[in-house]
Amino acid sequence: MPSIRTPHGDVALPAFFPDATRAVVRSLDAADLEACGVPGLVVCAFHLARRPGSKAVAAMGGVHRLMGWQRPVITDSGGFQVFSLIRQNPKLGTLTRREAIFRLAEGGKAGRLSPEKSIQVQLRLGADILVCLDDCTHPTAPRDEQAASVARTIAWAERCKAEFERGVSRRSSPEAVRPLLFAVIQGGADAELRRLCARELVAMGFDGYGFGGWPFDAHGRLLDDILALTADLMPCDRPRYALGLGSPGALVACARMGYTLFDCALPTRDARRGRLYVFGTQGDLSYDRLYLRDAAHRRDRGPVSDACDCLCCRAYSRAYLHHLFAIGDSLAWRLATVHNLRFYAMLMGRLRNSERPQQFGR
């Protein structure tokens, strides 16, 4: 079975990492996450740099010590915040050739995020897998904007790699397992730009590669052709990371394209809204959604899923979960989130059955 070797252990692929954006998966602690079979977490370097601050996290012994989490951690670079904040609201910042400048506080000091600073923050947090700062775009953006994004992403990746090598050489002993650095392939829905970006990044040499940019069209449909093309452009002996994906159906589709690593806030966000996933009857990878707030579950004595071994399904009924959501008790969040993350871990296990043995990392 393929795996990634990291300073905090090996990760069997394909794998799904829940989003712990601000160093927490809402309503769960580290023991809950381990019991679910979660192999690793993704934290947001941009948000942690603002609060509590990357130096404060480093003083606590790193993000693993801060969270009480001993499995791998991916730190995102801040590239998605460039997209979600600056690109969607130019009043909140500016993109230059050298850096992104954020203006998030009224009358406050501008925050600057350069490739070098992004890597420095991620290293201070103690990440196992770092991601190069990139310039994310929407697939419907004009071609000149996509081309500028690709040029910036390539230039920033080169600077990220140089800063990463400097930082790792200062921090790591020769015999230690080094953290990994992933680059992100941009280009929107333009196949030519995707090829250009991938060619330049692969020539630089990274430990893994990710699909960058919004993965859906204007109608919410998965960009199957561009996702598949981008996967084919990535080296077959490196992890292929589909950043920000997603639903169980999208994970299965992307795994068949060759992607091996995923992250998304969807399963935990859905859990807090009472939307749970259960395996279907049409095969090992089929699934259904269960809406626990529906009145039909008010007297349902059955578990959320007979196919699940999580705490929620072992000990509690659908009726009890329906009641907890109805009264707004926080236990509803915990039990539903435990179930959804266990579902994702089991789904990844089913996908791994067809994978060939291989190991990625140093």
What are the pLDDT digits (tens) for 214-269?
Answer: 898 888 889 999 999 999 999 999 999 999 998 999 999 999 999 999 999 999 99
Q: Would the pLDDT of 362 be above 70?
A: no
Q: Hey, what amino acid is at 246?
A: G
How many other CB atoms are there within 10 angstroms of residue 298's CB atom?
Answer: 11
Whether cis (ω within 30° of 0) applies to the bond prior to 52 is yes
- Please count the other Cβ atoms lying within 10 Å of the Cβ belonging to residue 98: 14
Catalytic residue flag (residue 76): yes
CB 355 within 8 A of CB 1: yes
Which has the closest alpha carbon to 12: 275, 351, 362, 316?
351
Burial 275-288 (b: 16+ CB within 10 A, else e): bbbbbeeeeebebe
User: Is 90 exceeded by the pLDDT of residue 327?
Assistant: yes
| Residue ranges per structural domain of the chain | 3-268
212-246 residues labelled b (16+ CB within 10 A) or e (exposed): bbbbbeeeeebbeebbbbbbebbeeebbbbbbbbb
Given pLDDT bands bounded at 50, 70 and 90, which one contains residue 211? very high
Query: Residue 89 has what pLDDT?
Result: 84
Of the candidates 134, 190, 263, 270, the residue annotated as catalytic is 263
Question: What's the one-letter identity of residue 200?
Answer: E
Q: Is 79 exposed, middle or buried (0-12, 13-18, 19+ CB in 10 A)?
A: buried
Residue 111 pLDDT > 90: no
217 is catalytic: no
Choose, from 76, 128, 207, 270, the residue flagged as catalytic.
76
Q: What percent of the chain has pLDDT over 70?
A: 96
Q: CA end-to-end span of the chain, whole Å?
A: 17
Is the distance from CB of 16 to CB of 322 less than 8 angstroms? Answer: no
| pLDDT of the residue at 294 | 98
Q: How far is CA 330 from CA 36, 273, 326, in A?
A: 19, 12, 11
Q: H or E stretch including 209? A: strand 208-211
> What Rg, from alpha-carbon coordinates, does the chain have?
20
Q: What is the pLDDT of residue 207?
A: 98
Strand pairing partners for 130? 75, 181
Measured between alpha carbons, how far is 174 from 257 in angstroms, rounded to an integer? Answer: 36
* pLDDT over 60 at 122, yes or no: yes
pLDDT of residue 284: 85
Q: Report which secondary-structure segment, H or E, holds 42.
A: strand 41-44
Q: CA separation (Å) from 173 to 169, 177, 181, 308, 314? A: 8, 9, 17, 43, 45
Read off the pTM. Answer: 0.95
The string of pLDDT tens digits covering residues 172-201 is 777 789 999 999 999 999 999 999 999 999
CA distance 42 to 163: 21
What's residue 1's pLDDT?
A: 65
Hey, what are 47's tokens?
A: 């948000």
pLDDT score, position 250: 96
**CATH class name, domain 3-268:** alpha beta
**Average pLDDT of span 85-96:** 85
The pLDDT value recorded for residue 306 is 95
Q: Which of 53-62, 102-111, 166-175, 192-201 has the lowest mean pLDDT?
A: 102-111
Phi, psi at residue 162, to the nearest 5°?
A: -65, -45
Distance CA 207, CA 26 (A): 30
Which ranges in the chain belong to alpha helices (H)?
30-36, 45-50, 54-59, 63-67, 79-81, 115-125, 143-171, 191-204, 224-233, 248-257, 266-272, 311-315, 318-327, 330-352
Checking if the pLDDT of 361 tops 60, the result is no
Task: Give the model's pLDDT for residue 110.
Answer: 72
Distance CA 273, CA 12 (A): 30
Distance of CA 352 to the CA centre of its chain: 19
Per DSSP, 177 falls in state: P
80 falls in which pLDDT band (50, 70, 90)? confident
Mean pLDDT score of the chain: 93
pLDDT value, residue 354: 67
